[in-house]
Amino acid sequence: MKVLVTGATGFVGRWLTAELAAAGHEVVATPPRTELDIQDVRGIASLLRSTLPDAVVHLAGLSFAPDALRDRQQAVSTNIGGTQSLFTALAAAGSRAPVLVSGSADVYGSPDPADLPLREDAPLLAEHPYGLSKLGQETTAVAGAARARSPLVVTRSFNHTGPGQRSEFVAPALARRVLDARLTGDRRIRTGNLGARRDFTDVRDVVRAYRLLLEWLVAGRPPEPLVVNVASGRSVSVGELLGLIGAAAGVEPEAVVDPALVRKGDPPEIVGDASRLHALTGWSPEIPLERTIADLVGSLDDSPSRAPAGVSRPNASPD
């Protein structure tokens, strides 16, 4: 099938386009934002008419929570406005292509520990700008799909990481600090809350889930929109994550908690239940977190003279 991917040049987008191509699908990547903004309804509609995709994956948007905190209007205009523009363009182009919208587990907000692991029917308690923008995106997607008469799946994707992720995210940020410590000999590493536990999945497993969901969506064309968690079903603390990074880099880091990196009101644990995803597609995570971290560290440690023995050094992107 031919798949139009918005946000194709981003972290997840690069991995997804490679995953789709490897599975034999034709990928149409939207141009970079400098050439075609996701809120340009006429431009998106024109692209839809000229390419006639069998399906659409919507990844374009603001994905880093602190960015949303700094610029709430940008989060709303990109995540909600961009999604609205996409479905308006689908209707204008007369396209009923099935759509997968990449959403976020941040819509669950700070969950009650009794609700863990989180299923799709868990309370939606988003209160921070990013989570609220993603919750608005979900609502907008459901309404837009009804108008465009397009089958729809919205994912609630939990934390994911891997080679090529933006350096401000927790795993690559810690990895860079550990690699710098190996260079300087100062093993002290600035960290946030070491006890916070999160559900991490390898980005390569995540895009495989997206591909399987998309294939299921196109084959079945369900009449009602569906929300699906993408999660590993296990949680790991930031302290454990730091330990894995240190092992991959050959460093025994000494954590120093930096109050500036501690988020107020940070929930102690967030972990998802991906039973619905498994039931629909047979998906389960395949890549151990140890390998994910080793590959991430290897991709950042681009100097052969600095790489410790036994650490793989894959490319930072799937290209």
Coil vs helix vs strand at 60: coil
User: Residue ranges per domain, the chain?
Assistant: 2-160+200-230
Per-residue pLDDT reduced to its tens digit, 205-227 = 999 999 999 999 999 999 999 99
Per-residue pLDDT reduced to its tens digit, 28-68 = 999 998 999 999 999 999 999 999 999 999 999 988 888 77
* Spatial CB neighbours of 228, under 8 Å, sequence gap ≥ 6: 120, 153, 154, 155, 156, 213, 276, 277, 280
Average pLDDT, the chain: 92
Q: Give the pLDDT of residue 67.
A: 74
Q: Residue 117: is the preceding peptide bond cis (ω within 30°)?
A: yes
Per-residue pLDDT reduced to its tens digit, 92-147 = 999 999 999 999 999 999 999 999 999 999 999 999 999 999 999 999 999 999 99
Q: Give the pLDDT of residue 16.
A: 98
CATH number of 2-160+200-230: 3.40.50.720
* Spatial CB neighbours of 125, under 8 Å, sequence gap ≥ 6: 108, 109, 110, 111
Coil vs helix vs strand at 80: helix
Q: Give the pLDDT of residue 305.
A: 41
* Spatial CB neighbours of 216, under 8 Å, sequence gap ≥ 6: 280, 281
CA distance readout (Å), 260 to 66, 100, 219: 13, 36, 48
Per-residue pLDDT reduced to its tens digit, 264-316 = 778 999 999 999 999 999 999 999 999 999 999 999 996 444 433 333 333 33
Per-residue pLDDT reduced to its tens digit, 186-205 = 999 999 899 999 999 999 99
Listing DSSP states for 97-154 in one string gives: --EEEEEEGGGG-S--GGGPSBPTTS-----SHHHHHHHHHHHHHHHHHHHHT--EEE
